[in-house]
Amino acid sequence: MADWNPDLYARFAGLRRQPALDLLARVGALPSGDVIDLGCGNGAVGPVLATRFPDRARLGVDLSPAMLAQARDGGHYTVLHEADLTQWRPDAPPALIFSNAALNWVPDHATLIARLVGMLAAGGMLAVQVPAQHDEPSHAMVHDIARDLAPDVVTTPQAHTHVRAPCDYAELLAPMGEANVWTTQYMQRLDPVGQGHPVRHFTQSTYLRRYLDLLESAQLADAFLDRYDTALFEAYPPDESGAVWFPFKRLFFTLRTGA
């Protein structure tokens, strides 16, 4: 898959940052240790972590060189690691592993979460937010449109939903420590755009990426975006100004280990 486009992703920086702020508000006192931003991307949460934890080492971990380059420019991390978050290990037990909209890209959350919790210092916290939008029109229609255009190319879902139901996380986390699981639906107002539907511009830098990689090689990306735009105008009609209200659901959980 092609590398991320940090500039396209950053167009909605405020909307993408708010869930991270809401998650961080649920992080309480911590033991000694580093703060890890797991899947740090372009460093959007870096300034907030630096303000909240000015005296701790702050480590950013991400697999995208382009995103890490922007995170490095921000100067809010002590160290940045280019690594697969499912394979990375800290040098010492961290006080906090914080992950905003990253775990949704990787499978087998039961194994991954157990691994992350096992890394924490005694009394440390795991704090995670993931999009839970896969059943909504903005995401659910994507595979069908792409497969209809290119059945020989799009043979399996490209944007797998690895996010589980809230009750699954509650059951998974309960034996590991003090757990909290909740969901929030954000009413996101998206401004008019020059071409296409506002929601498409929001999803194009994230959920659509794997489909566009396939369809661009098959020279069908423009046709796909046209069909997707048409479906979005029906699902999310703009107001007179061209703006839309876009409900977006996110799932959160925190886990504090025993001291």
DSSP labels, 33-76: S-EEEET-TTTTTHHHHHHH-TTS-EEEEES-HHHHHHHHHHT-
Residue recorded with tokens 């209809």: 148
pLDDT value of position 4: 42
Are the C-beta atoms of 112 and 176 separated by less than 8 Å? no
The tokens for 147 are 């497969």
Q: What angle do CA 40, 43, 45 make, to 5 degrees?
A: 85
pLDDT at 163: 93
Q: How do residues 74-126 score in pLDDT, each as one tens digit?
A: 999 999 999 999 999 999 999 999 999 999 989 999 999 999 999 999 999 99
pLDDT, mean over the chain: 91
Residue 227's H or E segment, with its range, is helix 221-235
pLDDT at 1 over 60: no
Residue type, 92: A
Res 154 pLDDT > 80: yes
Specify the pLDDT at position 180: 98
Name the CA radius of gyration of the chain, rounded: 19
Q: What is the model's pLDDT at position 254? A: 98
pLDDT at 16 over 80: no
**What is the predicted pLDDT for the residue at 194?**
85
Q: State mean pLDDT over 218-225.
A: 89
Q: How far apart are CA 169 and CA 185, in angstroms?
A: 18
pLDDT confidence of residue 14: 66
Sign of the alpha-carbon dihedral angle for 5, 88, 183, 142:
positive
Report whether pLDDT(158) > 90.
no
Helices 221-235 + 142-149 axis angle, to 10 = 140
Q: Which amino acid is at 94?
A: P
- Distance, CA of 132 to CA of 160 (rounded, Å): 12
| Cβ proximity of 105 and 135 under 8 Å | no
